[in-house]
Structure 1
Amino acid sequence: MTAADAPETGRTTAPASRAVLPLAIAQFIMVLDSSVMSVSISQLVEEFDTTVSTIQLAITLYALVMAALMLTGGKIGDLFGRLRMFRVGLVIYAVGSLMTAFAPTVEVLIVGWSFIEGAGAALVLPALAALVAGSYEGPARARAYGLLGGVAGAGIAVGPLIGGWLTTAYSWRWVFAGEVVLVIVVLAVSGWIARDTPGPRFRLDLVGALLSALGLALIVVGVLQSGTWGWLQPVQSPITPFGFALTPFVIAAGLFVLWGFFAWERRVVARGRVPLLDIRNLRIPELRAGLASLLAQNLILLGIFFAVPIYLQVTQGMDAFQTGLRLLPTSIAMLLAATIGARVGSRFGARAIVRVGLLTIAVAGIVIVATIEPELATLPFGIGMALVGLGTGLLASQLGNVVQSSVPAAARSEAGGLQYTAQNLGSSLGTALIGSFMVGALATSVLGLIAEDPGIEAAVADQAHVRVADGIEYLPPAQVERALLDAGFATDQATQVVESYSAAQLVGVKAGMLACTAAALVALPFTRRLPGRHGSTPAA
């Protein structure tokens, strides 16, 4: 018996109109952390005496742990009951939040936030998606998913404002303490959600869980380390197979493990057992298109929310609250677009709305790139960030409903696991890939500008090459100047190097934003199989 053949878990009734409230609050909690971390990068670096790359690692690991465990979390919900696992996951998440709030070192922060919270979220999110589908039908379900998409978008975008204010006025730690309170509220009203009962007993596919987690982890780690190891030409690669950097070999190993995962899942089905992932569902065109679009949505959004705060904080010298204010237009536009998109989806079709959203994001990226200068152009930048919110809100209003409505009722937990796997894989790749592009562009640009500057002596340029080869970070220009002076550089030489470094930072941020724009355009062909008007899809 396979997951697709299994009957849907039973459930008792609950006031459906109230069910979306605890689910929406849980969705808000799940996405709040990443956006808070984005605006708190400078404070975290200073408080823990670490680097931007380490915080980038923490952000990437958080999304990676969720992506790697999401399919397993969805299957556990099928086995023990979705509402029960929703509650258990919330408790685990609260433990991680409390540990993060009191973290004395960055290592403890990574354990509490990236691993424990990530594991809790992997239980909560697939159950959340399935519980929405089980509580609503037809247009009401589409509106509920639109609301959740808007809440998720608002969490990503309002998080910088809330986190920025708390970080500036008090401490980023208060955000995680506040999450514990919100979890208690959700648990208190979780009785409003329709209660389900566990489905037929089956043996959990532990081999499939291990293979899927390992494959995804290798791919993301390879992308994450590309800025340090190099893509092909070795930079700081620990080993150099055939004279190349380790990066492509780690990514290829991840793809090979995922191939092994799919082969194993076919074998499990052939033996009549319940697989971790029923790959027959992946033959559904709407499901594949929805998952690809979700991956692109989060890759773009988290890439933007990594690049923009670095520009505002490191280059412009803003604090966390000022950064949050500059991101507020994204929040407002995202919430409005998600609400409107959910209401007009049946009229225009998901395909048209998602395509408009992706094109809007591409335009937003170009607008923002045009505003990235030494002096912030406040109005054009605000317009660009509002367009980001408009585009991502339109995507969020459609894709959750597309994924859940494309599969049989019995596969809703599995679809929820796939949905959030795609989203969190996109999030981790967005932070890792865009961060890698930015670091690479920063290194190339700073060396080029130093080489072109006749006022910088050859010996100074040689030292710069050595230091960049050892690794380069996004740091405030004043901090770089102090480090150069402490290293014995003459004042005029240090000033000229810092000027080149500051200009290179702008190039790096622009490269990151252009990569996000390109991702939006590359995602367009994958929307062809999304439902059109009245649920129609193009002929095969």
Structure 2
Amino acid sequence: MKRWRALIVLGTAQFLMVLDTSVMNVSISKLVEDFHTEVTAIQGVITLYTLVMAAFMITGGKLGDAFGRRRAFTLGLIVYGTGSAITALAPSLWVLALGWSVIEGLGATLVLPALAALVAGAYRDRERSVAYGVIGGLAGAGIAVGPLLGGWVTTYLTWRLVFAGEVVVVLAMLCVVRWIPDVPPGPRRKLDAGGVALSAAGLALVVLGVLQSSSWGWLKPRNPPFTLLGFAPTLFVVAAGAVLLWLFCAWERRQQHRGREPLVHLSLFRVPPLRAGLTMLLCQNLVLLGLFFVIPLYLQVVQGLDAFQTGLRLLPVSVTMLLSAMAGPLLGRVAAPRTVVRCGLLVLLAAALWLLGTIEPRIDNLAFGLAMGGIGLGMGLLASQLGNVTQSSVGEDERSEAGGLQYTAQNLGSSLGTALIGSLLIGALVHAFTTQIDDNPKISDAARHQAGTAMEAGVSFVGTDQVRAATRRAGLPPSEADAVVDSYATAQLDALRAAILATAGVTLGALAFTRRLPAERAAGRPAGRRAGEAGR
């Protein structure tokens, strides 16, 4: 039992790191109410949290290499706990963003790469495979238990207590952090500040462009702060981010050529299993966070459920994801990682398509619960394999850097999931609502013009009660107001289906990237050689 004490601490840290996002997603309506803001503002806060982690995760891994992984893990917990305390007391939206999105995000960038390396250092062979299965299961539990825990606390107490509780848990972890065997630090080298700046700015611009596309528009300007050549700035911002990422790669090659330590050894991307694992992690989190942004909106805004009722509807995800992720080591005895991941993707695809059929004005709890269970099962199968695949693809001296890349891929996927799927949701809502009111003979041209003017000023995913109130303020007769509200209600469901269909498309596309995953069952064995020398 003593040898598993480290896993208790590391697993608790993994659980905490992913709990926040699921709590925030299920508390969207309450956050909008408490801070007198809109859904898109909370979407931005959620995206900023994962973006901060994606932008600085590799840097956190490098700092862990230089100062010691347990020391980085401990410092990260302190920073994270500080951010949780600020979040619990946040009086305004910008303080919430500072405490949760920025400070907690920066703490996570120290904790997670060190966590991945500490697991690899504490366990070997079969035990390592078991440990990564447990870590994957707890990550899934954090994502899925968060809605139930956060929903109950948000509904009957206040969401702030979740973050206050995190402070207590962090303090308890700091008391037993010495249970984790340390991994000696490597030689201390100068941090690649140029690489940090270029990678962070490039990722930030890409995600910012995708996030703002819902209000700016992709090509035709909707409500942008400025235009370029008559077009919305969205694609220009994304392109600028892509250029910075290209410059980052060129800078890293130059650093290596000069004999300096780069932020990322680009040779790692030439290791096929690692490259495939990182791609799958990005796709997995894009789909998961996209769904976990859309589904609470369906349950709360369309169905009118409170946060706790929403958490109950998401409980099947928790159960099946935890069980299937924990079964990873057993599955590894009879099937290769590639096979398990492909099965997970097919289950996830089937569940997403099933979920499409449940998006109706009145929810069918049984059908919806089965879809949620299928999503959890598919996600758990992926989580049971991908952490071990990425860490087993490299040698011991590259564990921390691989961990940084692993969590960068996960959080970039999370950022894009919330931003891209949220953007598609709003875009589909605008298109469907416009089509509905144009085709409805009960709606006058004047009402269509008023609706068009309102959409040009900005669109948010709101309840039908708010739309009805807007029609009253506009002075529409009752019959015409009813037609507008009915058109919006139909557009809501169409937009939700379009967003879920997009996640199904990403899942289907991810199958193409599984070819380079390990095809043999012995995936828990360390690579034992430098990535640059690994097979192509």
Same fold (TM over 0.5): yes
Q: Does 1:26 align with 2:26?
A: no
Distance 2:403 2:328 in 1: 21
1:487 equivalent among 453, 458, 474: 474
1:517 equivalent among 501, 504, 510: 504
In structure 1, the residue matched to 2:84 is: 97
Distance 1:465 1:235 in 2: 11
Distance 1:278 1:42 in 2: 43
In structure 1, the residue matched to 2:145 is: 158
In structure 2, the residue matched to 1:9 is: none
Kept in 2, the 8 Å contact 1:237–1:245? The answer is: yes
**Amino acid of the residue matched to residue 68 of structure 2?**
G
Distance 1:469 1:361 in 2: 36
Distance 1:455 1:479 in 2: 20
Distance 2:171 2:59 in 1: 25
Report the Cα offset of residue 252 of structure 1.
1.0
Report the Cα offset of residue 462 of structure 1.
1.0
1:311 equivalent among 291, 298, 310: 298
1:439 equivalent among 426, 442, 448: 426
**Amino acid of the residue matched to residue 375 of structure 2?**
V
Larger mean CA deviation between 528-537 and 410-419 belongs to: 528-537
Report the Cα offset of residue 487 of structure 1.
3.0
In structure 2, the residue matched to 1:3 is: none
Deviations 1:112-165 (A, max 9, x none): 100010000011000000000011111111110111001000100000000000
Distance 1:188 1:484 in 2: 58
Q: C-alpha root-mean-square deviation of aligned residues, in Å?
A: 1.4
1:84 equivalent among 71, 74, 85: 71
Kept in 2, the 8 Å contact 1:277–1:414? The answer is: yes
Kept in 2, the 8 Å contact 1:438–1:509? The answer is: yes
In structure 2, the residue matched to 1:168 is: 155
**1:205-354 superposed matches below 5 A:** 205-354=192-341
Report the Cα offset of residue 15 of structure 1.
4.6
Report the Cα offset of residue 533 of structure 1.
2.2
Q: Does 1:46 align with 2:44?
A: no
Distance 1:86 1:181 in 2: 17
Distance 1:346 1:115 in 2: 41
Kept in 1, the 8 Å contact 2:122–2:181? The answer is: yes
Q: Does 1:533 align with 2:491?
A: no
Question: In structure 2, the residue corresponding to 1:50 is in which secondary structure?
Answer: coil
Q: Does 1:386 align with 2:373?
A: yes
Question: In structure 1, the residue corresponding to 2:22 is in which secondary structure?
Answer: helix
Distance 1:100 1:313 in 2: 23
**Amino acid of the residue matched to residue 420 of structure 2?**
L
Deviations 1:324-357 (A, max 9, x none): 0000000000001001123212421110111111
Distance 2:228 2:451 in 1: 27
Which runs of 5 or more residues in structure 2 are unaligned? 528-534
**1:496-515 superposed matches below 5 A:** 496-515=483-502
**Amino acid of the residue matched to residue 405 of structure 1?**
S
In structure 2, the residue matched to 1:358 is: 345
Distance 1:228 1:145 in 2: 40
Report the Cα offset of residue 535 of structure 1.
4.5
**Amino acid of the residue matched to residue 167 of structure 2?**
V
Kept in 2, the 8 Å contact 1:16–1:193? The answer is: no
Report the Cα offset of residue 201 of structure 1.
1.5
**Amino acid of the residue matched to residue 378 of structure 2?**
G
Larger mean CA deviation between 60-69 and 234-243 belongs to: 234-243
Q: Does 1:407 align with 2:394?
A: yes
Deviations 1:415-467 (A, max 9, x none): 01000000000000000000000000001101111111111111101111111
Which runs of 5 or more residues in structure 1 are unaligned? 1-13
Distance 1:256 1:330 in 2: 39
In structure 2, the residue matched to 1:16 is: 3
**1:199-210 superposed matches below 5 A:** 199-210=186-197
1:187 equivalent among 138, 154, 174: 174
Kept in 1, the 8 Å contact 2:332–2:521? The answer is: no
Which TM-score applies when normalising by structure 2? 0.96
**Amino acid of the residue matched to residue 531 of structure 1?**
P
**Amino acid of the residue matched to residue 271 of structure 1?**
R
Kept in 2, the 8 Å contact 1:346–1:533? The answer is: no
Distance 1:492 1:346 in 2: 65
In structure 2, the residue matched to 1:455 is: 442
Report the Cα offset of residue 273 of structure 1.
1.5
In structure 1, the residue matched to 2:530 is: none
Deviations 1:2-43 (A, max 9, x none): xxxxxxxxxxxx953211100000000000010001110000
Distance 2:213 2:24 in 1: 22
Report the Cα offset of residue 80 of structure 1.
0.5
In structure 2, the residue matched to 1:143 is: 130
Q: Does 1:419 align with 2:406?
A: yes
Kept in 1, the 8 Å contact 2:69–2:185? The answer is: yes
In structure 2, the residue matched to 1:67 is: 54
Kept in 2, the 8 Å contact 1:15–1:194? The answer is: no
Deviations 1:216-246 (A, max 9, x none): 1011001001111111222123333233221
Larger mean CA deviation between 368-377 and 525-534 belongs to: 525-534
Distance 1:346 1:272 in 2: 43
In structure 1, the residue matched to 2:384 is: 397
Question: In structure 2, the residue corresponding to 1:329 is in which secondary structure?
Answer: helix
Kept in 2, the 8 Å contact 1:15–1:193? The answer is: no
Distance 1:422 1:454 in 2: 49
